[in-house]
Amino acid sequence: MANDKKMVEDITSMEEDFAKWYTDICKKAELVEYTSVKGCMVIRPYGYAIWENIQRILDKMFKDTGHENVCMPMFIPESLLQKEKDHVEGFAPEVAWVTHGGSERLEERLCVRPTSETLFCEHYANIIQSHRDLPKLYNQWVSVVRWEKTTRPFLRSREFLWQEGHTIHATAEEAIIETEKMLNVYADFCERYLAIPVVKGKKTESDKFAGAVSTYAIEALMHDGKALQAGTSHYFGDGFAKAFGIQYQSKENKLEYPHQTSWGMTTRLIGAIIMTHGDNNGLVLPPDVAPIQAVIIPVAQHKPGVLEKAAELKASLEAAGIRVKLDDSNNSAGWKYSEYEMKGVPVRIEVGPRDIENNQCVIVTRHNREKSFVSLDGLADTVKEKLTEVREGIYNKALENRENRTYACTTMDEITKALDEKGDGFIKAMWCGDEECEDKVKEETGVGSRCIPLVQENLSETCVCCGKKAQYMVYWGKAY
Amino acid sequence: MANDKKMVEDITSMEEDFAKWYTDICKKAELVEYTSVKGCMVIRPYGYAIWENIQRILDKMFKDTGHENVCMPMFIPESLLQKEKDHVEGFAPEVAWVTHGGSERLEERLCVRPTSETLFCEHYANIIQSHRDLPKLYNQWVSVVRWEKTTRPFLRSREFLWQEGHTIHATAEEAIIETEKMLNVYADFCERYLAIPVVKGKKTESDKFAGAVSTYAIEALMHDGKALQAGTSHYFGDGFAKAFGIQYQSKENKLEYPHQTSWGMTTRLIGAIIMTHGDNNGLVLPPDVAPIQAVIIPVAQHKPGVLEKAAELKASLEAAGIRVKLDDSNNSAGWKYSEYEMKGVPVRIEVGPRDIENNQCVIVTRHNREKSFVSLDGLADTVKEKLTEVREGIYNKALENRENRTYACTTMDEITKALDEKGDGFIKAMWCGDEECEDKVKEETGVGSRCIPLVQENLSETCVCCGKKAQYMVYWGKAY
């Protein structure tokens, strides 16, 4: 009863307060818990299990594309961080500094890695001599620290988990191919496994990663019309190699500078899942990363044969490779329904005495709450079909939301009007390429995120801001 | 040719300089590389792949015993670390302190976790109210930092990777069962998967973990006769619960303090593998954690059909679930033999034109260099048998080393004499239980590691040191 009561406290509705709705889900679906260190969170078992599924799938994609995992130290000496000018300028203001080891003051302070380019460069300089040592295709799964002022679970925390790929190649061409390849891996991952449609694009000069020649990103549109950068892939040219003195002997016996890339995805993806698929009943999880893909809820479980049948069904689903949970606790069926809706379990299976008599059960899909009676024969196949249905259903819903909230604009007034009348979303507009216009669009309309999509459209011949000749079509948005 | 030359530089022999032999293997088998931060190392792909295999197996053992993974922050506020008196005394002298975030001085300094008891306790206090919330069986895979003075790759580094299990239970009894269960999981893991025989025991009062009621450990004997603690499991009683104000409402509606445990294993295990199984040709890897279980070396690979056959064999071994590599590089066969011996690959398969004609190949097992001609029919099964042979062979060799180097002593003179004449090893001797004798044994004979094995023997009635009535039989040793 106490438990029933607890679940009746609804979460804030997203229409009422989207930010509160978001944090309510984070807490009530038991994804995270706050700690006494501001901006640092505990990722609880249910949240971490989502991350483990993300890791497992991505790690395989990285290995299938020839990458190897390594592990760099978490500390970067200040002098090492300072070796590449743009990089240190970008990161120094937001790093955590270690100044003491035990009771002794360190001779040189160390920062906790905000990203590991400098560590990889130091390592490359040690291990790369010849063209035969290239390429190195590395990745690591670690946490990094950035001393953010305002923080939110998953979206912006002072410590977050991520993977960072770092590769080094003999030629610029190879490195550029790698940068684009990993952008595609990221996009495929988001669309196939997280059911999140993304726009692949290039960041503008002013928005690049600190030290990069070019930064590519995938951008997704959240339910509230705000943009979220879900992954980035950077091409560094030979700038880091020159700063760190990394050279190799070419086949022609000449000393050359190699070319580098890096690319990363973070626990922010969990935030993207919540804000893309969630609803007012809680989380809605993409089946591929859901810790529990199907939950079996026995109805009138005290009646003879019900729990036995439920256990039998569980075993058959498990044998078919479905992640399944049987909840035979003493909580009421109603409590259980809300609980697993809150936790976003894609498929719910209800089975009671009458169902068993009829050799059937009820299946409810989380995203649309559709109920169907299905035969117990071949249940595993039916559940797999339903999981596919959920994946496709939530992908299409997200795509529809993005399409409904993407506004092609040719004047500044149109931008303001679209945002005012239709709410936040992606603004598609032409741009001349000048930073001045970029700043002005942001200032006057509030859309600070910008991304030049790889697939370009020609909306008009002129820049939305200054009216001069347009160079690019840009997606603008308010960013998470 | 350049490569051939490189491999001919032998590593230092273990008889000449065991410590140098060890670091030579770490470097030449490409397990680690040093960095500019003392005591912090890069774990290279081959080293990290061993750790990934360890993780995969252990993680499954943890999940099979009901544990869930979580992730705590890496920072602990000073005031939180100070809540449990013994704990802070044990760890404060060796933590790294973060004092600044960006350019601002922090109001309270944060230490980089040396271990996470305090963080788990803070979290438990937030999430545990009722007996229905217990037990919590948690684990996390993270890195921790301890500001050691002298450091060595894997054995003692300032940052190292580990798993830390943390559990909390309604009763002392349950917590004690958990402590012992995980000690057994650790011992099984070492013996079955790493082929390292271990002694299960309890640490003495003076040697316990900071804040523990009792500490259990598994101890292994390295090739040079020194002892290595391979894993620890701690029972905390309700001391932390009291210090952190963690209470739960019992079934009888009373407020009670729960009981806790923690247990950990680290990348130190890789050091244990090197020093238990390695030889003067390099690493010898236990098949279960070897990144490459079998390497195929084509002989006269330019001859028609050789590479095709080698690739076909590779595919058939892979299909059987064996981690296999085909080295078809241009390096000489001799170079390849040394390279994969250095890297400890358990099974080498040589196949040339003559072999193919005879439908056979040569298999060489790394640990004893035994060569056999085997049929290509059913090769996967043969290789699996050979892998089992390697596992058993290296286990028995390690056990034999330990038995040869375990000396039962009943007087202090016998201890000194055994160590002098037979070299370092385990000393089995009776002990009265007084710390004074413990210190004296260490001082006079140099054996600082002590472990009270769970399986006791009665070597005599009296303490080896003071001659009073003995309470325990102890394994003493020089510790890594």
Closest among A244, A237, A197, A193 to A215, alpha carbons compared: A237
Does residue B48 carry a pLDDT above 90? yes
Residues from chain B that touch A92, judged by Cβ atoms under 8 A, are 102
Torsions phi, psi of B234, nearest 5? -115, 140
Residue B70 corresponds to which amino acid? Answer: V
Contact across the interface for A110 and B37, Cβ inside 8 Å: yes
Q: Is B235 helix (H, G, I), strand (E, B) or coil?
A: strand
Measured distance CA(A134)–CA(A152) in Å, rounded: 40
CA angle, residues B202, B205, B210, in degrees to nearest 5 = 95
DSSP code of B61? H
Residues from chain B that touch A110, judged by Cβ atoms under 8 A, are 37, 96
Measured distance CA(A107)–CA(A266) in Å, rounded: 33
Using DSSP bridges, classify how beta strands A347-351 and A294-298 pair: parallel, antiparallel or unpaired.
parallel
Calculate how close chain B gets to A37, using CA atoms only, in Å.
7
Calculate how close chain A gets to B333, using CA atoms only, in Å.
18
Residues from chain A that touch B110, judged by Cβ atoms under 8 A, are 37, 96
Contact across the interface for A122 and B35, Cβ inside 8 Å: yes
Sign of CA dihedral A346, B64, B142, A87: negative
User: What is the model's pLDDT at position A238?
Assistant: 98
User: What is the model's pLDDT at position B442?
Assistant: 94
DSSP-H helix ranges across B290-411: 306-319, 333-342, 353-357, 379-404
pLDDT tens figures, A54-68: 999 999 999 999 999
Sign of CA dihedral A236, A239, A242, A247: positive
Question: Does the interface ipTM go beyond 0.90?
Answer: yes
Calculate how close chain B gets to A149, using CA atoms only, in Å.
10
Average confidence score pLDDT of chain B: 96
Preferred mutation among B43, B70, B138 to probe A, highest tally of A CBs within 10 A = B70
Element of type H or E holding A261: strand A259-266
Closest among B207, B242, B232, B241 to B115, alpha carbons compared: B232
Hey, do A11-277 and A292-389 end up sharing a CATH topology, with the first three levels equal? Answer: no
- CB neighbours of residue A256 within 10 Å: 17
User: What is the model's pLDDT at position B389?
Assistant: 98
User: What is the model's pLDDT at position A9?
Assistant: 62
Q: What percent of chain A lies above the pLDDT cut of 70?
A: 98
Measured distance CA(B257)–CA(A449) in Å, rounded: 51
Residues from chain A that touch B162, judged by Cβ atoms under 8 A, are none
Q: What Å distances lie between residue B288 and A291, A434, B278, CA to CA?
A: 27, 58, 16
Say which of B71, B94, B103 has its CB closest to residue A102. B94
Calculate how close chain A gets to B53, using CA atoms only, in Å.
12
Burial (Cβ within 10 Å: 0-12, 13-18, ≥19) of residue A60: exposed
Closest chain A CA to residue B95: A102
Q: Is A166 helix (H, G, I), strand (E, B) or coil?
A: strand
User: What is the model's pLDDT at position B8?
Assistant: 42
pLDDT tens figures, A263-278: 999 999 999 999 999 9
Query: What mean pLDDT comes out for the span B197-208?
Result: 96
Measured distance CA(A39)–CA(B102) in Å, rounded: 14
Sign of CA dihedral A350, A351, A357, A359: positive
* DSSP codes, B8-32: HSPPPPTTT-HHHHHHHHHHHTTSE
Contact across the interface for B102 and A110, Cβ inside 8 Å: no
Query: What mean pLDDT comes out for the span A134-157?
Result: 96
When the candidates are 3.90.550.10, 3.90.180.10, 3.30.930.10, 3.30.390.30, the CATH number that belongs to A11-277 is 3.30.930.10
Burial (Cβ within 10 Å: 0-12, 13-18, ≥19) of residue A184: middle
Tokens of A154: 């998953």
Contact, B404 vs B421, CB < 8 A?
A: no
Residues from chain B that touch A100, judged by Cβ atoms under 8 A, are 96-97, 99
Q: Is B457 helix (H, G, I), strand (E, B) or coil?
A: coil
Tokens of A264: 């990363």
When the candidates are 1.10.3720.10, 3.30.2290.10, 3.40.50.800, 3.20.20.70, the CATH number that belongs to A292-389 is 3.40.50.800
Q: Is A356 helix (H, G, I), strand (E, B) or coil?
A: helix
Q: At what angle do helices B268-277 and B379-404 cross, to 10 degrees?
A: 90
Say which of A35, A70, A127 has its CB closest to residue B43. A70
Contact across the interface for B70 and A43, Cβ inside 8 Å: yes
**First and final C-alpha spacing in chain B:** 39
Q: What Å distances lie between residue B112 and A145, B163, B267, B295, B374, CA to CA?
A: 12, 16, 18, 41, 54
DSSP-H helix ranges across A194-248: 239-244
Using DSSP bridges, classify how beta strands B294-298 and B324-326 pair: parallel, antiparallel or unpaired.
parallel
Residues from chain A that touch B45, judged by Cβ atoms under 8 A, are 68-70, 138
A-B Cβ pairs (cutoff 8 Å, strict): 150
Query: What mean pLDDT comes out for the span A250-261?
Result: 98
- CB neighbours of residue A180 within 10 Å: 16
Architecture in CATH of B290-389: 3-Layer(aba) Sandwich (3.40)
Cis peptide before B135 (omega within 30 of 0): yes
Residues from chain A that touch B102, judged by Cβ atoms under 8 A, are 92-95, 147
pLDDT tens figures, A215-247: 999 999 999 999 999 999 999 999 999 999 999
The domains of chain B are located at: 10-277, 290-389, 406-477
Calculate how close chain A gets to B260, using CA atoms only, in Å.
18
Using DSSP bridges, classify how beta strands B347-351 and B294-298 pair: parallel, antiparallel or unpaired.
parallel
Contact across the interface for A69 and B45, Cβ inside 8 Å: yes
Contact, B297 vs B337, CB < 8 A?
A: yes
Cis peptide before A346 (omega within 30 of 0): no
Task: Give residue for tokens 């580990």.
Answer: B162
Query: What mean pLDDT comes out for the span A281-307?
Result: 97
**What band does B9 get if pLDDT is binned at 50, 70 and 90?**
low
Measured distance CA(B123)–CA(B279) in Å, rounded: 46
Say which of B93, B99, B103 has its CB closest to residue A103. B93
Preferred mutation among A6, A27, A37, A121 to probe B, highest tally of B CBs within 10 A = A37
Query: What mean pLDDT comes out for the span B388-393?
Result: 98
Calculate how close chain A gets to B157, using CA atoms only, in Å.
10
DSSP code of A13? P
To 10 degrees, the CA torsion angle through B330, B334, B339, B343?
A: 130
Calculate how close chain A gets to B198, using CA atoms only, in Å.
28
Using DSSP bridges, classify how beta strands A324-326 and A294-298 pair: parallel, antiparallel or unpaired.
parallel
Those residues whose C-beta lies under 8 Å from the C-beta of residue B161, and which sit 6 or more positions away, are: A71, B43, B51, B141, B142, B143, B266, B267
Residue A139 corresponds to which amino acid? Answer: N
Residues from chain B that touch A35, judged by Cβ atoms under 8 A, are 72-73, 119, 122-123
Say which of A69, A100, A127 has its CB closest to residue B99. A100
Fold of domain B10-277:
BirA Bifunctional Protein; domain 2 (3.30.930)
pLDDT tens figures, B206-233: 999 999 999 999 999 999 999 999 999 9
Measured distance CA(B114)–CA(B107) in Å, rounded: 21
Contact across the interface for A101 and B98, Cβ inside 8 Å: no
Contact across the interface for A77 and B33, Cβ inside 8 Å: no
Contact across the interface for A97 and B95, Cβ inside 8 Å: no
pLDDT tens figures, B449-477: 999 999 999 999 999 999 999 999 999 99
What distance lies between CA A419 and its chain's CA centroid?
Answer: 25
Those residues whose C-beta lies under 8 Å from the C-beta of residue B324, and which sit 6 or more positions away, are: B292, B293, B294, B295, B296, B314, B317, B318
Does residue A309 carry a pLDDT above 70? yes
Contact, A112 vs A94, CB < 8 A?
A: no
Contact, B283 vs B14, CB < 8 A?
A: no
**What band does B38 get if pLDDT is binned at 50, 70 and 90?**
confident
Closest chain A CA to residue B72: A42
Calculate how close chain B gets to A411, using CA atoms only, in Å.
40
Residue A309 corresponds to which amino acid? Answer: K
Does residue B12 carry a pLDDT above 60? yes
Query: What mean pLDDT comes out for the span A286-310?
Result: 97
Sign of CA dihedral B379, B383, B385, B389: positive
Contact across the interface for B102 and A147, Cβ inside 8 Å: yes
Specify the length of chain B in residues: 480
Say which of B77, B95, B101 has its CB closest to residue A147. B101
Does residue B263 carry a pLDDT above 60? yes
Torsions phi, psi of B178, nearest 5? -60, -45
Does residue B10 carry a pLDDT above 90? no
**What band does B5 get if pLDDT is binned at 50, 70 and 90?**
very low
Residue A433 corresponds to which amino acid? Answer: G
Say which of B48, B72, B143 has its CB closest to residue A70. B48
Measured distance CA(A342)–CA(A25) in Å, rounded: 8
Sign of CA dihedral A334, A335, A338, A344: negative
**What band does B6 get if pLDDT is binned at 50, 70 and 90?**
very low
Calculate how close chain B gets to A355, using CA atoms only, in Å.
31
In the sheet that A227-237 helps form, which strands lie side by side, from edge to edge? A68-69, A136-145, A159-169, A259-266, A227-237, A214-221, A199-202, A449-453, A472-477, A426-431, A406-408
Average confidence score pLDDT of chain A: 96
Closest among A142, A40, A36, A109 to B96, alpha carbons compared: A109
Q: What percent of chain B lies above the pLDDT cut of 90?
A: 95
Residues from chain A that touch B72, judged by Cβ atoms under 8 A, are 35, 42
Contact, A470 vs A440, CB < 8 A?
A: no
Closest chain A CA to residue B79: A36
A92-118 burial by CB neighbour count: b if 16+ within 10 A, else e? bebbbbbbbbbeeebeebbbbbbbbbb
Closest chain B CA to residue A3: B132
Does residue A165 carry a pLDDT above 90? yes
User: What is the model's pLDDT at position B364?
Assistant: 98
Measured distance CA(A62)–CA(A70) in Å, rounded: 13
Query: What mean pLDDT comes out for the span B305-312?
Result: 97
Query: What mean pLDDT comes out for the span B381-396?
Result: 98
* DSSP codes, A362-412: EEEETTTTEEEEEESTTHHHHHHHHHHHHHHHHHHHHHHHHHHTEEE-SSH
What is the CATH class of B406-477?
Answer: alpha beta
Say which of B36, B127, B159 has its CB closest to residue A122. B36
Calculate how close chain B gets to A141, using CA atoms only, in Å.
10
